[in-house]
Amino acid sequence: MDTAANDLLHTDIHQYLHQHENKTLLRFITCGSVDDGKSTLIGRLLYESKVLFEDQLDAVEADSKKWGTQGKEMDFALLVDGLAAEREQGITIDVAYRFFATDQRKFIVADTPGHEQYTRNMVTGASTADVAVILVDARQGILTQTRRHSYLASLIGIKNVVLAINKMDLVGYSEDKYQAIIDDYTTFAKQVNIEHFTPIPMSALKGDNIIEPGNAMPWYRGTTLMSYLETVKVNSDRMQEQPFRMPVQWVNRPNLDFRGFAGTVASGVIKPGDAIRVQPTGKESTVKRIVTRDGDLEKAVAGQSVTLTMNDEIDISRGDIISTVDNPASSADQFESTVVWMHDDAMLPGRPYLMKIGTRTVTATITDIKYEVNVNTLEHTACKNLQLNNIAVCNINTDQQVAFDAYTDNRDTGGFILIDRITNNTVGAGMLHFALRRSDNIHMQAVDVDKEIRANLKNQKACVLWFTGLSGAGKSTIANLVEKKLAMQGRHTYLLDGDNIRHGLNKDLGFTDADRVENIRRIAEVARLMVDSGLIVLSAFISPFRAERQMARGMVDADEFMEVFVETPLNVAEERDVKGLYKKARRGELKNFTGIDSPYEAPENAELLLDTSTMTAEQAAERVIKELRRRGIISED
Amino acid sequence: MTPDSSKTAETVTSDDTPLLSESLANRRRFAVQMRIDGSPLKTITQTTGLSAPTVIAAFKAWNTGGWKAIEPAPRGRAAGSRQLDDAQQTQLQRVLLTSPPNDGDSPLWHVGNAHNYLTETGVSLTPRSVTRYLALWGLTPPPRKFDAETASDCVPVPTPVYRVTVSTADGRSVFATRDPRGKLHWIGFDGPPTTDRIIDFLNRLTRLGSSRSRSIVIKGIDIARTNAIRAWITENCCNTDVFTASAASLTKISALAPQAQHAASVDQGNEQQNDLNVSRLTMNQSSTARQTEPVPTMTDSNTAASINTTSSATADGLLPGSDTLTHLQRLEAESIHIMREVVAEADNPVMMYSIGKDSAVMLHLAAKAFYPAPPPFPLLHVDTTWKFRAMYEFRDRIAKELGFELLVHINQEGVAQGVNPFTHGSALHTDIMKTEALKQALDKYQFDVAFGGARRDEEKSRAKERIFSFRSAQHRWEPKAQRPELWRQYNTRKQKSESIRVFPLSNWTELDIWQYIYRESIPIVPLYYAGERPVVERDGTLIMVDDDRMPLHDGEVPQMRSVRFRTLGCYPLTGAVESTAATLPDIIQEMLLTKTSERQGRMIDHDNAASMEKKKQEGYF
Of A241-245, B104-108, B127-131, B147-151, the poorest mean pLDDT is in B147-151
B361-417, pLDDT tens digit by residue? 999 999 999 989 988 999 999 888 888 888 999 998 988 888 888 999 988 888 888
- Chain B hits for A118, CB-CB cut-off 8 Å, are none
Structure ipTM: 0.73
What is the model's pLDDT at position B262?
Answer: 40
Q: CA A354 to CA A421: how far, in whole Å?
A: 6
Catalytic residue among A543, A598, A613, A635: A543
Phi first, then psi: what are they for B466, rounded to 5°? -75, 165
Label residue B289 by pLDDT band (50, 70, 90): very low
Label residue B460 by pLDDT band (50, 70, 90): low
Average pLDDT, chain A: 84
For residue A403, the surrounding DSSP H or E stretch is strand A391-404
Whether residues B330 and A411 touch (CB distance < 8 A) is answered with no
**B158: preceding bond cis by omega (within 30 degrees):** yes
Label residue B279 by pLDDT band (50, 70, 90): very low
Nearest CB to B484 within list A9, A101, A426: A426
- In eight-state DSSP terms, residue B457 is G
What is the model's pLDDT at position A376?
Answer: 81
What is the model's pLDDT at position A235?
Answer: 79
The more confident residue out of A483 and A9 is: A483
The more confident residue out of A593 and A622 is: A622
Nearest CB to A124 within list B332, B484, B610: B484
Nearest CB to B487 within list A253, A304, A411: A411
Calculate mean pLDDT across residues A100-109. Answer: 86
Distances (CA, A) of A356 to A245, B415, B586: 17, 45, 46
Calculate mean pLDDT across residues A406-422. Answer: 91
Chain B from 285 to 324: CB within 8 A of any A CB: 307, 311-313, 315-319, 322-324
Label residue B590 by pLDDT band (50, 70, 90): confident
Average pLDDT, chain B: 76
Q: CA B410 to CA B438: how far, in whole Å?
A: 9
Smallest CA–CA distance, residue B610 to chain A, in Å, is 6
> Residue B33 above 90 pLDDT?
no
A563-593, pLDDT tens digit by residue? 999 988 888 888 888 778 888 888 888 878 8
Whether residues A292 and B371 touch (CB distance < 8 A) is answered with yes
Label residue B495 by pLDDT band (50, 70, 90): confident
What is the model's pLDDT at position B120?
Answer: 83
B293-327, pLDDT tens digit by residue? 443 333 333 333 333 333 333 344 444 445 788 89
- Chain B hits for A291, CB-CB cut-off 8 Å, are 371-372
Chain B from 332 to 351: CB within 8 A of any A CB: 332-334, 336-337, 340-341, 343-344
| Rounded percentage of chain B residues whose pLDDT exceeds 90 | 14
Contacts with B379 (C-beta within 8 Å, 6 or more apart), sequence order: B350, B351, B352, B353, B363, B399, B404, B405, B406, B407
Calculate mean pLDDT across residues B234-261. Answer: 72
Q: In chain A, which residue's Cα lies nearest the Cα of B509?
A: A99
What is the model's pLDDT at position B15?
Answer: 42
Q: In chain B, which residue's Cα lies nearest the Cα of A250?
A: B344
Of A591-595, B285-289, B589-593, the poorest mean pLDDT is in B285-289
pTM of the model: 0.67
Label residue B263 by pLDDT band (50, 70, 90): very low
A455-464, pLDDT tens digit by residue? 877 778 889 9
B428-444, pLDDT tens digit by residue? 888 888 888 888 888 88
Phi first, then psi: what are they for A299, rounded to 5°? -160, 160
Q: CA B277 to CA B288: how far, in whole Å?
A: 10
Calculate mean pLDDT across residues B543-565. Answer: 83
> Residue B600 above 70 pLDDT?
no
Q: What's chain A's Rg over C-alpha atoms?
A: 31
**B3: preceding bond cis by omega (within 30 degrees):** no
Label residue B259 by pLDDT band (50, 70, 90): very low
Half-sphere exposure of B411 (CA within 13 A, CB side): 22
Label residue B272 by pLDDT band (50, 70, 90): very low
Alpha-carbon torsion (B48, B54, B60, B61), positive or negative:
negative
Interface size between A and B, measured as CB pairs under 8 A: 211
CB contact A412 to B (< 8 Å): yes
Smallest CA–CA distance, residue A237 to chain B, in Å, is 6
A341-384, pLDDT tens digit by residue? 988 888 888 888 999 998 999 999 898 898 999 888 888 998 88
Highest mean pLDDT among A293-307, B530-544, B589-603: A293-307
Whether residues A298 and B316 touch (CB distance < 8 A) is answered with yes
Label residue B81 by pLDDT band (50, 70, 90): low
List the one residue out of B113, B146, B162, B196 whose CA is nearest residue B556: B196
Q: CA A543 to CA A520: how far, in whole Å?
A: 7
Burial class (CB in 10 A: 0-12, 13-18, 19+), B308: middle
Smallest CA–CA distance, residue B388 to chain A, in Å, is 26
The more confident residue out of A635 and B173 is: B173
Q: In what order do the strands lie in the sheet with A131-137?
A: A96-101, A105-111, A24-31, A131-137, A160-166, A197-201
**Vertex A100 angle, CA A95 and A106, to 5°:** 105
Angle, to 10 degrees, between the axis of helix B302-310 and the axis of helix A13-21? 60
Is A245 within 8 Å of A266 (Cβ atoms)? yes
| Rounded percentage of chain A residues whose pLDDT exceeds 70 | 88
What is the model's pLDDT at position B567?
Answer: 83
Whether residues A54 and B595 touch (CB distance < 8 A) is answered with yes
A417-438, pLDDT tens digit by residue? 999 988 888 999 999 998 886 5
CB atoms within 10 A of CB B281: 20
What is the model's pLDDT at position A45?
Answer: 84
Contacts with A427 (C-beta within 8 Å, 6 or more apart), sequence order: A341, A342, A343, A345, A347, A353, A418, A419, A420
Smallest CA–CA distance, residue A298 to chain B, in Å, is 6
What is the model's pLDDT at position A636?
Answer: 64
CB contact A95 to B (< 8 Å): yes
**Parallel/antiparallel/unpaired status of strands B109-110 and A24-31:** unpaired
Q: CA A46 to CA A23: how far, in whole Å?
A: 17
Nearest CB to B367 within list A14, A293, A419: A293
Calculate mean pLDDT across residues A588-608. Answer: 85
Give the start-end residues of each E strand in A138-282: 160-166, 197-201, 245-255, 258-264, 269-270, 275-279
Calculate mean pLDDT across residues B472-489. Answer: 78
Q: CA B420 to CA A42: how far, in whole Å?
A: 42
What is the model's pLDDT at position A78?
Answer: 63
- Chain A hits for B593, CB-CB cut-off 8 Å, are 9-10
Label residue B571 by pLDDT band (50, 70, 90): confident
Calculate mean pLDDT across residues B490-501. Answer: 86
Whether residues A106 and B327 touch (CB distance < 8 A) is answered with yes
Chain A from 268 to 307: CB within 8 A of any B CB: 269, 291-294, 297-301, 303-305, 307
Whether residues A299 and B316 touch (CB distance < 8 A) is answered with yes
Label residue B540 by pLDDT band (50, 70, 90): confident
> Residue A18 above 90 pLDDT?
no
Distances (CA, A) of B391 to A503, B513, B546, B573: 74, 19, 11, 15
> Residue B258 above 60 pLDDT?
no
* Catalytic residue flag (residue A598): no
- Chain A hits for B325, CB-CB cut-off 8 Å, are 24-25, 236, 301, 303-304
Phi first, then psi: what are they for B502, rounded to 5°? -120, 130
| Rounded percentage of chain A residues whose pLDDT exceeds 90 | 32
A142-162, pLDDT tens digit by residue? 888 888 889 989 999 898 999
Is A247 within 8 Å of A358 (Cβ atoms)? yes
Distances (CA, A) of B35 to A157, A566, B61, B204, B229: 109, 142, 12, 67, 79
Whether residues A99 and B307 touch (CB distance < 8 A) is answered with no
Highest mean pLDDT among A58-62, A189-193, A336-340, B606-610: A336-340
What is the model's pLDDT at position B77?
Answer: 57
CB contact A84 to B (< 8 Å): yes
A472-496, pLDDT tens digit by residue? 888 889 999 999 988 888 888 999 9
> Residue A66 above 50 pLDDT?
yes
Whether residues A305 and B486 touch (CB distance < 8 A) is answered with no
Q: CA A411 to CA A245: how far, in whole Å?
A: 11
Calculate mean pLDDT across residues B204-228. Answer: 81
List the one residue out of B249, B248, B254 whose CA is nearest residue B280: B254
- Chain A hits for B482, CB-CB cut-off 8 Å, are 94
Nearest CB to A424 within list B369, B374, B493: B493
What is the model's pLDDT at position B605?
Answer: 44
Half-sphere exposure of A591 (CA within 13 A, CB side): 6
